[in-house]
Amino acid sequence: MSLRIIIISTISVIVQLALTILAWGDWASFFAHPARTWLVIGSFLLLIAAWFSGSSGISGGEKHSTASKTILYAFGVLLVLLTLVPPYCDRRDIWVIDGDAALYFGLFSFFAGSILRLAAVFVLGRRFSGLVAIQPGHQLKTDGLYRYIRHPSYTGLIASMIGYVLIFRSVIGLLLNIVLFLFLVSRMNDEESFLEAHFGDEYRNYRLRTRRLVPFVY
C-alpha cells in the first residue's frame, strides 16, 4: 500500500470504531464485554496486516466500470447504518438476541470473514480495488482462493458483517445484511459483465466452472 492509502484506511477504521462506540453511548460499558473489546483490538490488527497487502485502494486503473462508483456510494451509506444501528440497539435492548452465544459466534464470524477478505486482497495485491477496474498488467486470477468461487472477498465481507451485527445481538443488523447482500449481487453482476467484456472467453469459461460466493452452492 502507498502511504496515502495507509493513512486513509487508518483514519477510516478509527472513525468507524469511534462511531460504533458513540452509537453505543458509553466508553466504559462498551469495553466491559470481552467480545466488544476484541472487536476493537482485532480491527486494528487486521488494519496493520492490510498495510502490507499491496492493494491499490480505489484506483480506477486503466479503465473501470462507471456503475461501480454509484454502487460504491450506496454501499458506503449502508455501511454507516450497519456501523451505527447495531450498537445503538444493543445498548437499549431494541430487537436483540438474548445471551452471549450470539456475541461469541459473531466474534468468530467477524474474524473468519475478515481474514478471508484480507487473504483475497493479498492474493490480488495491486489488482484489488474498491472500484471494478482493470489495473496495468492485469491478469485473471483463477487459482488458489479463486479456484472454486469468483468473489472470496465478498464472501468474507458478508461473513464479517454478519459477525459484526451479532456481536451487538442485532436483529435489525441482520436485516440490513440482507440489503448488503442485494447490493453485492448488483456489484457482482456489474463486475462479471465488465470482466467478461475485457477477458472474453477466458472469463466466460471461468464463470462456467465456478460459483460466486459459496463452493458448489452459489
Tens of pLDDT along 57-98?
A: 666 556 777 777 777 788 889 999 999 999 999 999 999 999
**Domains, in order of start, for the chain:** 3-208 (1.20.120.1630)
E strands, 31-73, in order: 63-64
pTM of the shown model: 0.93
Q: Distance between CA atoms of 218 and 215, rounded to whole angstroms?
A: 7
Find the length of the chain: 218
Q: Distance between CA atoms of 128 and 195, rounded to whole angstroms?
A: 13
pLDDT band at 129 (very low <50, low <70, confident <90, very high): confident
Tens of pLDDT along 155-205?
A: 999 999 999 999 999 999 999 999 999 999 999 999 999 899 989 999 999
Main-chain dihedrals φ then ψ at residue 9, nearest 5 degrees: -65, -35
Q: Distance between CA atoms of 63 and 60, rounded to whole angstroms?
A: 6
